[in-house]
């Protein structure tokens, strides 16, 4: 679609920090939250892990076998659409979280929470995100509340990324990571303002979050079963990079299970089951730091999310979805 004749102003990072209402603020798309791998041994460990400072094993995964499957094509592929531009839909969403009782949960006895976010923009203006996740955990050491908030802005061409993440556990003072990243010389440069001012450069390129989401959708369209990309999203201390492995299933047919998605707008939109595992680059570990699974729609909306932190897992149900106005963009 062509742009209108009126020039548009470039959108900046949203000023708010999200909230627990649908209207107050995605799933990097589950960005900073998924980076919080939890592995409780005692109360001190609980606090550290929920702040995203430690990583442990998240279960054995045979990465080699999955990589070998990368050349296969899934049924229902549409090669003619593989090269079409991916258009991500602006939307607000709320997911209610509960403990996945079908998997071992270590010292976690109970868990509930909520994710709320607002995702806006397009390839012309860029993409703005306001995200919040609050999780209440019942552990052997006592109850604990974890609160994590992220705001970010990614250029439409994926060349630059601004981010601010605040996370706190047990009522402690929030830890903040604030910075920018910009592609340069085949790699990218990160400039941090918090927790302390510093600059570092990576010689190897990486995708930023929305570019990663688009790459997964393009791979699904092309009928690919796997996708490997390197990701930088500013998580934790702002220096870490992840090698990601996406496993993409066959296109899902039939009505979605979540009521907010049972609407005419989604009847003809393709969706696939996707699982993305995140490996800390350079760690040498064959098990992911965490894994996210969900049903991915061709417009970037996600349903039926599952967050696997290794020591326990959370299931998320989409309880509210508001599609936002989408401006015309030729890119």
Question: Over the stretch 94-138, which tens digit does the pLDDT of each residue have?
Answer: 999 999 988 877 788 899 999 999 999 998 989 999 999 999 999
Which pLDDT score, from 0 to 100, does residue 112 have?
94
Which of the pair, 303 or 19, is modelled with greater confidence? 303
* Whole-number Å distance between alpha carbons of 19 and 16: 9
- The torsion angle over the Cα atoms of residues 249, 250, 256 and 260, rounded to 10 degrees, is 60
Spatial separation of the C-alpha atoms in residues 194 and 18, rounded to whole Å = 20
- Is residue 313 over pLDDT 50? yes
The mean predicted confidence, pLDDT, of the chain is: 79
Q: What is the structure's pLDDT at 213?
A: 95
Which of the four pLDDT bands, split at 50, 70 and 90, describes residue 182? very high
Q: Which residue has the higher pLDDT, 233 or 4?
A: 233
Instruction: Please return the burial class of 69, using the count of CB atoms within 10 Å of its CB with bins 0-12, 13-18 and 19+.
Output: exposed
Measured in degrees and rounded to the nearest 5, phi and psi for residue 252 equal -85, 130
Distances 258 to 97, 263, 269 between C-alpha atoms, Å: 14, 10, 15
For residue 213, the cross-strand partners are: none
Residues ≥6 apart with Cβ < 8 Å to 40:
46, 49, 106, 107, 108, 139, 140, 141, 311
Burial 251-270 (b: 16+ CB within 10 A, else e): bbeeebebebbeeeebeeeb
- In order, the DSSP letters of 285-312 are -SS-SEEEEEEEETTS-EEEEEEE-SS-
Number of neighbours of residue 11 by Cβ within 10 angstroms: 16
pLDDT at residue 60 is higher than 60: no
**φ/ψ (deg, to 5) at 319:** -110, -15
- The DSSP symbol for 3 reads P
């Amino acid at each position: 679609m062509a742009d209108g004749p009126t020039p548009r102003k470039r959108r900046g990072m949203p000023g708010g920090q999200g909230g627990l209402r649908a209207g107050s603020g995605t799933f990097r798309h589950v960005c900073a939250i998924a980076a919080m791998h939890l592995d409780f041994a005692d109360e001190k460990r609980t606090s550290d892990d929920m702040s995203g400072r430690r990583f442990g094993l998240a279960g054995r995964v045979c990465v080699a076998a999955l990589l070998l499957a990368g050349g296969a094509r899934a049924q229902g592929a549409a090669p003619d659409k593989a090269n079409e531009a991916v258009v991500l839909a602006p939307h607000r969403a709320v997911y209610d979280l509960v403990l996945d009782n079908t998997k071992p949960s270590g010292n976690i006895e109970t868990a509930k929470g909520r994710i709320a976010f607002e995702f806006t923009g397009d390839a012309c203006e860029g993409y703005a995100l306001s995200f919040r996740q609050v999780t209440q955990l019942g552990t052997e050491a006592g109850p604990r509340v974890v609160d994590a908030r992220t705001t970010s802005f990614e250029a439409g061409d994926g060349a630059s990324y601004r981010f601010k993440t605040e996370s706190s556990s047990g009522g402690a003072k929030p830890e903040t990571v604030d910075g920018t990243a910009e592609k340069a010389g085949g790699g990218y440069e990160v400039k941090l303002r918090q927790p302390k001012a510093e600059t570092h450069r990576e010689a190897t390129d990486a995708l930023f979050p929305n570019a990663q989401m688009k790459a997964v959708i393009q791979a699904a369209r092309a009928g690919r079963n796997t996708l490997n990309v390197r990701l930088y999203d500013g998580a934790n201390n702002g220096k870490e990079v992840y090698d990601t492995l996406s496993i993409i299933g066959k296109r899902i047919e039939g009505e979605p299970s979540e009521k907010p998605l049972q609407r005419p707008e989604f009847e003809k939109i393709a969706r696939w089951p996707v699982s993305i595992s995140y490996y800390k680059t350079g760690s040498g570990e064959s098990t992911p730091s965490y894994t996210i699974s969900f049903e991915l729609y061709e417009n970037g909306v996600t349903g039926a999310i599952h967050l696997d932190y290794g020591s326990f897992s959370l299931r998320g149900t989409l309880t509210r979805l508001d599609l936002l106005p989408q401006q015309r963009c030729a890119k």
